[in-house]
Chains A and B, each alone.
Chain A
Amino acid sequence: MGSFDLKIISKYFDLPEAKDVDYYVQHGGYAAARKAVRMDPATILGEVKASNLRGRGGAGFPTGIKWGFVPQGSQTVYLVVNADESEPGTFKDRHILFWNPHMLIEGMIIAARSLGVRNAYVYMRGEMLREYPVLQKALDQAYDKGFLGERCFGSDMALDITIYRGAGAYICGEETALLSSLEGGRGWPRLKPPFPAVKGLWGQPTIVNNVETIANLPWILENGGQAFADLGVGRSGGLRIVSVCGHVNKPGVYELPLTVTGRELIEDVCGGIRGGRKVKGVIPGGVSMPLLTADELDVPFEFDALQNDERIREVEVQPGVKFDLGGGRTLRTMAGSGGVVVMDDQTDMVSACWRILHFFADESCGQCTPCREGTGWLTKVVKRIDRGHGRPGDVELAASIADGIAGNTICALGDAAAWPTLAFLTKFRDEFEAKIRSSTFVAQQRAAAEQGAP
């Protein structure tokens, strides 16, 4: 893979001048949008479908199919870009927003044309203090040039794009919670169906797409959907942007072919593990996703492979009992948000598991009891194991709580807490049990038993 040098979105990374509209236009920018505003919307949809572009926010749902769910003849359709990136380990969208704001805007114009959108929003994380002014400036420039507004590129298409800033809530990255927040209230997820494409923002059909997803559209329109599909593998088109953090020599944001394996990513792209240590665990796509062990890294970091490749162990509820994802499907892992967290052989897996759970307990919106209570219980149990107060049976207790949350909530946050927990317990069970064996609780029990013994 060393010879790979195509860059779609990342070509403007670390190039400050690309934030300026003139530079972007001089290098071919906005050509696809200029063409799109006069194109038949159905033709654009056809290209997107042919591209095999899959949502880059986490779920990997085919973008063209999602767009196709908007009912024919809808009067008002909204486009909302999900820039609420907050899945721990993930920092790719922030990077795109900071370095390549015009490509996002251009992609939004293309999507808006295809979907018949008059008003589009970018829902941006409140904490993105550095990225907000960058995107706002790029929008102002696009308006000044006449690319946005009443007559985009002089055509009869009108489009307004408004940035809506969040205020600190992980759950707002979930698309229905995001819409609740954009409407001006608590970020509470809603039951699906109805899906947002049918009934979304203010009850109207709404397409919610991730930043990276939208930023791929200019390339697709310029080069054709088929060319994008050809870059990918199987049912996944294009390249993928991953962010790598943790114990690697060169953490950062990289645009890579979907065929790249976890091991290639760590060794070839990120220069290996710091301090010459060995890898112990890798989270492939944000902390919601089950982690991989050092032996499971030869699988391509691609949507379908991570879900189905038999080299990845299935997640268990207890030894020998596989976790049921519903309909008898088992869980290996998923590509998720592209946020890769690399942990070296010095990492305390119990402690890492606790910190992830602490996060989910903190961010549960509180609507569904299994998640609101369950994430708190899980955190409590795993914390006491971590701090040396674990009790015999705590591993089984944690697994049963996680299993009780999964699949029983309105949105995926409950699953997002349960899946990684079960993966930690499946793959690093011995570390949890070792901590329990040496806990103060066990020592006290032993002392009491010895005192009581004749």
Chain B
Amino acid sequence: MTAKQLSPEIEARIQQLWPRFPPQNAAKALCIPVLYLAQQQFGMVDDEVVDLVAKRLDLPAAHVRGTATFYTMFNKKAVGRFHLQICTNIGCQITGAYGVFDRCKKRLAVDNHGTTEDGNVTLSEVECLAACGFGPVAQIAERGKPDIPLYFENLDLERIDQILDALAEGRVPTELGS
């Protein structure tokens, strides 16, 4: 098995961002951006990825691990091909988010942060996504693909069913996003 390596794209991004920080602070400042890019490449930030980032930036692995585990957007273990993230915070709660979330749990047969048996979808309850006006709101990530710049708003049981159907077919229903 070949050891993991950071992609050339990450290397290029490091070169691009480095001069934007004071020379003595750049390596540490790049910790979060590089972790983020590494997660896009590998799908998660496990110990191996942490070590890889620490080595590349010449930072103590303990610092990188402490940073990676502090932030919710870094997945410490593998997630499904699609990561469905549903906000249940106040604005979404009072417009029906838990009904939507329960429907997801039932249809996917998973609990919060669980992954379907076929590895297709991970379901997560997330905190406020700053899109409160048109709740309930979800975001979807697809492994190995760039960020999907969409919010899935005004969710109700019908719309979440459409989203779940599409994910089951192996695609992100971008037509439902805004």
Contact = CB atoms under 8 A, between A and B. Distances in A.
Interface of A: 85-91, 93-94, 119, 125-130, 132-133, 160, 162, 164-170, 181-187, 202, 243-247, 251-253, 283, 287, 339, 341, 343, 347, 351-352, 355-356, 359, 362-363, 365
Interface stretch (B100-108, B113-121, B146-154, B158-166): B146-154
Given A126-B36, A129-B148, A247 B94 contact: yes
B90 A127 contact: no
A363 B148 contact: no
Contacts of A125: 130
B93 A355 contact: yes
Given A246-B94, A359-B89, A169 B131 contact: no
A391 to B, nearest CB: 24
A363 B126 CA distance: 11
Contacts of B134: 251
Given A85-B130, A162-B20, A169 B135 contact: no
Counting chain B CB atoms within 10 Å of each CB, the highest count among A126, A168, A185 belongs to A185
Interface stretch (B2-10, B25-33, B76-84): B25-33
Query: Which of A119, A168, A351 has the most C-beta atoms of chain B within 10 angstroms of its own C-beta?
Result: A168
7 contacts: A86-B128, A86-B130, A87-B128, A126-B36, A167-B73, A202-B22, A251-B133
B17 to A, nearest CB: 7
Given A245-B91, A251-B133, A339-B132, A182 B148 contact: no
B130 A129 contact: no
Contacts of A129: 139, 147-150
A88 B91 contact: yes
Given A88-B89, A91-B133, 20 more contacts: A87-B128, A88-B91, A91-B131, A130-B151, A167-B71, A168-B73, A184-B31, A184-B67, A185-B63, A185-B67, A244-B133, A245-B132, A245-B135, A251-B132, A253-B133, A339-B132, A341-B90, A355-B88, A359-B90, A359-B128
Contact of A88 (B20, B132, B149): B132
B127 A166 contact: no
B72 interface: yes
Contact of B30 (A86, A184, A352, A359): A184
B149 A130 contact: yes
A89 B128 CA distance: 8
B67 A88 contact: no
Contacts of B66: 185-186
A85 B130 CA distance: 7
Contacts of A246: 91, 94-95, 132
A89 B71 contact: no
B90 A89 contact: yes
A356 B71 CA distance: 20
A183 B28 contact: yes
B129 interface: yes
A359 B127 contact: yes
Contacts of B73: 126-127, 167-168
Given A127-B139, A185-B28, A352 B93 contact: yes
B29 A94 contact: no
B28 A119 contact: no
Nearest to B27: A184
Most buried by A among B73, B127, B135: B127
A126 B149 contact: no
Contact of A347 (B22, B36, B67, B94): B94
Contacts of A91: 130-133
A167 B29 contact: no
A246 B134 CA distance: 8
A224 B79 CA distance: 53
A90 B130 contact: yes
Contacts of A85: 130
Nearest to A131: B149
A356 to B, nearest CB: 6
A179 B14 CA distance: 20
B70 A169 contact: yes
A28 B178 CA distance: 29
A120 to B, nearest CB: 10
Contacts of A89: 90-91, 128, 132
Across the A-B interface, the 7 shortest Cβ-Cβ residue pairs: A168-B73, A168-B72, A167-B71, A245-B132, A184-B28, A184-B31, A251-B133
A164 B147 CA distance: 16
A355 B63 contact: no
B149 A133 contact: yes
Nearest to A244: B133
Contacts of B74: 167-168
Contacts of A362: 127
Contacts of A351: 93
